[in-house]
Structure 1
Amino acid sequence: MTETQQTPEWPRPYWQPGAGEDALLQFYVFGKFERELVIPAQRYGSPGLPAGVELKRFQNLELRKWEGYPLNGSLGEILREDAPETFEQARIAPEVLVVRGQLADRASLDYLRDTLGVLAALLDIGGRAILDPQILGLFGAEAWRERYLVPGGAPPRNHVLILRSEEPGSDRSWVHTRGMRKFGRPDLSFRQIPAHELDRAGVLCEKLVEMQALGTRFVAGQALEVEGMPQALVAQPGGRLDDPEFNNRHVEFRWPF
């Protein structure tokens, strides 16, 4: 996305209708804003928030009383550790604008483009930090601009979090994503990855993030041929939207032994 009056469409060339998935967008913008909120989204090629996405305004002190307040609890601890200065900016900000919506799956990502344009504009009129809870990310204004105000649109990889952890009782690794729900797609899970295959798994994960963002779906039992691997990976869709590891459903691939 660039600061222009016209922003190209964001098509999804692999999209097919009929799966009934929904995309979920959720952001918190911390800052101090004028009483009358005039959002110059056109500066970023956005006509405003798409239908189905709403903006609600809260006093930070009042929102802090909410049980799900994102700067509290385990998420708050993660954010404080990862970005202490930005966390403090968000904590002391007088106001919070919550941008949230659920949208039916569709053939373009214009809904995401337009929402990002509004978020960029909010940083111009008093926003100091943006929280994306789906990827456990809290960004100061400049960090957010660097990540998302990219000519032609930030790559799908920038919209997700890729995590690695050790498999219990094993010397192998688990790689998985968070954030694919923005695209109305399940997150990705790669199990039992040997150490010497981690680089390959990371590259593959980024490629599948992009493919799903552009509309691809994986069905149960679908074989995924990977260059240089003797066996195909097999897709196993599952999970639920409230799974705390993903905040989403997921598709699992087990690395061949």
Structure 2
Amino acid sequence: MSNPVTYFPAWQRPHWQPSDEEVILQFYVFGNFKPTRVPSEPYGSDGLPEEVQLSSHHHHVLRDWEGYPLKEALGDLFKNDAPEAFEQALAAPQVLVLHGRFKDQGDTGYLRDTYGVLAGLLDIGGVAILDPQILTLFSADEWRRRYLIKDGAPLRNHVLILRDEEDASGRQWIHTRGMRKFGRPDISLHDVPETDTDRAGALCQKLIELEALGARFVDGQSLEVDGVFGGLTAELGGGMDDPQFNNTYVSFYWPGQE
């Protein structure tokens, strides 16, 4: 398969250690699709992995589904964050739903092949892609800008990093969504002082990259961090029904202020 530009490399995972975690992918593609083969080859994809199921729905039928993502609080979020993409998605007559589960594995070929199909779907009538794992609705152009990058978009582009106030003390909670794409727990940094948010953000990105490339943390594992006396200690928790992550997570608590 000839492909002069690599958009979705099948990253090798040099830190990979096998685990019982599952890789989970889920996407909604809104549009009016041409009845033709999806042109995924130019994006380096041989087509959807056998673990990924694709179902096609008339949009007016899907609106009655209990899990329909463009209604209620979730729909309001997308409408506020991406009003143009929301209107395009809402007006689309068709919705394709992609869902896949994979065993933890030593490279990300599954991601390359799935994203190549998503890119191809935008070429045959797709107008918006919803990635519910990172709570983001993209217009076709926005998705292309984020992911169609020579030699691959940064790993952090596949994950959402959030910052919330921990409590009245002003300390911050830095946390992620989307690490299920790599079969790894999401990251949760608690009790971060306002003065350390840049350091915590950089650490969060580093941990995303380490986990995406296969690293795992065990409960009680110590993590040395520049500028943080005594380092941080990993605490594992969560599960697929966790309301904050819909995933397992690894938490680290910033040391108290002196």
State the TM-score, normalized to the length of structure 1. Answer: 0.96
Report whether the alignment pairs 1:86 with 2:85: yes
Counterpart of 1:12 in structure 2 is: 13
Report whether the alignment pairs 1:224 with 2:223: yes
Matched position secondary structure for 2:228 = coil
Matches within 5 A, 1:126-165: 126-165=125-164
**How far did 1:152 drift?**
1.4
- Structure 2 distance, partners of 1:140, 1:8, is 23
Report whether the alignment pairs 1:179 with 2:203: no
The structure-2 alpha-carbon separation of the partners of 1:5 and 1:163, relative to structure 1 and needing over 3 Å to count, comes to closer
- Structure 1 distance, partners of 2:172, 2:42, is 44
The structure-2 alpha-carbon separation of the partners of 1:8 and 1:212, relative to structure 1 and needing over 3 Å to count, comes to closer
The aligned amino acid for 2:161 is I
On the 8 A contact 1:189/1:252 being kept in 2, the answer is yes
Counterpart of 1:31 in structure 2 is: 31
On the 8 A contact 1:5/1:42 being kept in 2, the answer is no
The structure-2 alpha-carbon separation of the partners of 1:37 and 1:99, relative to structure 1 and needing over 3 Å to count, comes to farther
**How far did 1:9 drift?**
3.5
Deviations 1:6-49 (A, max 9, x none): 775321111012x1111000000000012x34101101110001
Matched position secondary structure for 1:231 = strand
The aligned amino acid for 1:12 is R
Flag structure 1 segments of 5+ consecutive residues without an equivalent.
none
The structure-2 alpha-carbon separation of the partners of 1:4 and 1:63, relative to structure 1 and needing over 3 Å to count, comes to farther
On the 8 A contact 2:9/2:112 being kept in 1, the answer is no
On the 8 A contact 2:9/2:152 being kept in 1, the answer is no
- Structure 2 distance, partners of 1:97, 1:125, is 12
On the 8 A contact 2:27/2:129 being kept in 1, the answer is yes
The aligned amino acid for 2:25 is L
The aligned amino acid for 1:249 is T
Matched position secondary structure for 1:71 = coil
Matched position secondary structure for 1:38 = coil
The structure-2 alpha-carbon separation of the partners of 1:158 and 1:8, relative to structure 1 and needing over 3 Å to count, comes to closer
**How far did 1:4 drift?**
3.9
**How far did 1:3 drift?**
6.2
- Structure 2 distance, partners of 1:4, 1:89, is 32
Counterpart of 1:205 in structure 2 is: 204
CA RMSD of aligned residues (A): 1.4
On the 8 A contact 2:130/2:136 being kept in 1, the answer is yes
The structure-2 alpha-carbon separation of the partners of 1:189 and 1:5, relative to structure 1 and needing over 3 Å to count, comes to closer
Flag structure 2 segments of 5+ consecutive residues without an equivalent.
none
State the TM-score, normalized to the length of structure 2. Answer: 0.95
Counterpart of 2:213 in structure 1 is: 214
Identity, % of aligned pairs? 57
- Structure 2 distance, partners of 1:10, 1:246, is 24
- Structure 2 distance, partners of 1:226, 1:55, is 43
The structure-2 alpha-carbon separation of the partners of 1:65 and 1:148, relative to structure 1 and needing over 3 Å to count, comes to same
On the 8 A contact 1:29/1:98 being kept in 2, the answer is yes
